[in-house]
Amino acid sequence: MNKSRISGFSLMELCIVLALVALVSVWTFAGYSKWYEQHQLEAFKLRLVNALKLAQALSLTQHEALIVCGAKAGICTSNWQGNLVVMTQNRKLVRDLGPVPATLSINYSAFYAKNQLLIQDRGLLVNNGTLTLSVTGKERVKMTLSKQGVIKAL
């Protein structure tokens, strides 16, 4: 008698392959999310440095003290949430530089004015300070700011 044989994969073989594919995708996603967080942090760090340089240049050309902070409705927030803005001391908006990512927390420590950077009309910061950028509670980047406007990543 002629018996025809059907060939294919067994259910066990398919389950093993699916388990391996799931394991590899989870491993890849974990690496991707860490890379994305780091990329988001670096991009915001550059935006923040550009905002400081812009505020320094504008304060020199306009002969006016300026503030850099995270603001909602024209008021600097204590945790730098909202939009990154450059404004005058009278709260007149000079430049809106877009939103601060929700996963990012910023802490500015200085002698005073912890929720804003004040730049004098000569382009100099009022005092030295440290900006700390954290993603999901983990401190990632520290930058020191000198009165002369020099920004140094630690």
pLDDT in tens, 103-144: 888 888 877 666 888 888 888 888 888 888 887 777 678 888
pLDDT at residue 17 in the model: 92
Q: How is residue 32 written in tokens?
A: 């991707």
Q: Place domain 11-153 in its CATH homologous superfamily.
A: minor pseudopilin epsh domain (3.55.40.10)
- Pseudo-torsion of CA 98, 90, 111, 131, nearest 10°? 10
Give the pLDDT mean for 69-94.
87
Please, which residues have CB within 8 angstroms of residue 66's CB and are 6 or more apart in sequence? 55, 58, 59, 86, 87, 88, 89, 94, 118, 119
Model confidence at 154, pLDDT cuts 50, 70, 90, reads: low
pLDDT at residue 107 in the model: 80
**Distance from C-alpha of 38 to C-alpha of 135, rounded to nearest angstrom:** 9
**Distance from C-alpha of 41 to C-alpha of 63, rounded to nearest angstrom:** 32
pLDDT at residue 21 in the model: 92
Model confidence at 18, pLDDT cuts 50, 70, 90, reads: very high
Element at 19 (helix H, strand E): helix 11-62
pTM: 0.73
More confident residue, 115 or 17: 17
pLDDT at residue 145 in the model: 85
pLDDT at residue 20 in the model: 93
Please, which residues have CB within 8 angstroms of residue 94's CB and are 6 or more apart in sequence? 55, 58, 66, 85, 86, 87, 88
Kindly list the distances between the CA atom of residue 81 and the CA atoms of 14, 26, 72, in Å, as whole numbers in the listed order. Answer: 49, 31, 7
Which residue has 């002698």 as its token pair? Answer: 111
User: What pLDDT digit, counting tens, does each position of 49-80 carry?
Assistant: 888 888 899 998 988 999 888 888 888 888 88
Give the pLDDT mean for 91-101.
88
Contact indicator for 131, 52 with CB cutoff of 8 Å? no
